[in-house]
Amino acid sequence: MADDDKKPSGPRKTWWVVGATALAGALALNSPKVRRLLTVSDVTAGLTSEYPDLQPQVFAESPEAVLEAAVRVCEDLGWKVVAEDRIDRRILAEVSAAPGFLDDFDVWLVDVEDGTMVHVRSRSRLGRGDLGMNARHIRLFQRALDRVL
């Protein structure tokens, strides 16, 4: 019976749980990975320091061929291509991140010595953090473009 008296109960137990949860939350927010998920909503391959693994891609194909492939990839992924500029070699697509949430996805091409460099940017229209969705959009697009080219 003496052991049962030492266990927290009632309001004391509630405050212990609240305190432990607050401490865990504070420690989690101090984690760079968690902070990145809650504060980054605009990701550009090669420029966003929170995602150093995301870099522009280079393909040996012509800019015209790469642009065609990029449009096809966006459409195959179910993204809505809202603008395509063949002169400036740019694509703008809308990506449904979750019901009611749209992200803007930009693709632009640059001639380089080895072929065509593909730059990509994914940006949330709403909110301060995207829970990693924009980086996922970029990874998904880059993997699909790699398979096509």
How does residue 126 score in pLDDT terms, banded at 50, 70 and 90? Answer: confident
pTM of the model: 0.77
Q: Is residue 37 part of a domain?
A: no
- In which domain, by residue range, is 9 found? 1-30
> pLDDT for 11-41, tens place per residue?
666 666 655 565 555 545 556 665 555 668 8
When comparing pLDDT for 144 and 9, which is higher? 144
Mean of pLDDT over the chain? 85
Q: Using alpha carbons, list the distances in angstroms from residue 143 to 17, 60, 70, 122, 146.
A: 43, 16, 11, 15, 5
What's the mean pLDDT in 123-134? 87
Could you tell me if 104 and 134 lie in one domain? yes
CA distance 1 to 60: 77
Could you tell me if 52 and 89 lie in one domain? yes
Domain tally, the chain: 2
Q: How far is CA 42 from the centre of its chain?
A: 8
Could you tell me if 6 and 60 lie in one domain? no
When comparing pLDDT for 149 and 127, which is higher? 149
pLDDT of residue 101: 84
When comparing pLDDT for 132 and 117, which is higher? 117
Q: Is residue 35 part of a domain?
A: no
Contacts of 45 by beta carbon, 8 Å cutoff, 6+ apart: 51, 54, 55, 56, 57, 119, 120, 121, 138, 142
> pLDDT for 65-90, tens place per residue?
999 999 999 999 999 999 999 999 99
| Straight-line distance from the first to the last Cα atom of the chain, in angstroms, rounded to the nearest whole number | 72
92 pairs with which residues across the strands?
Answer: 83, 106
Contacts of 79 by beta carbon, 8 Å cutoff, 6+ apart: 93, 94, 95, 105
Task: Name the amino acid, one letter, at 86.
Answer: R
Could you tell me if 18 and 48 lie in one domain? no
Could you tell me if 22 and 65 lie in one domain? no
pLDDT of residue 128: 77
Percent of the residues in the chain that have a pLDDT greater than 90, as a whole number? 62
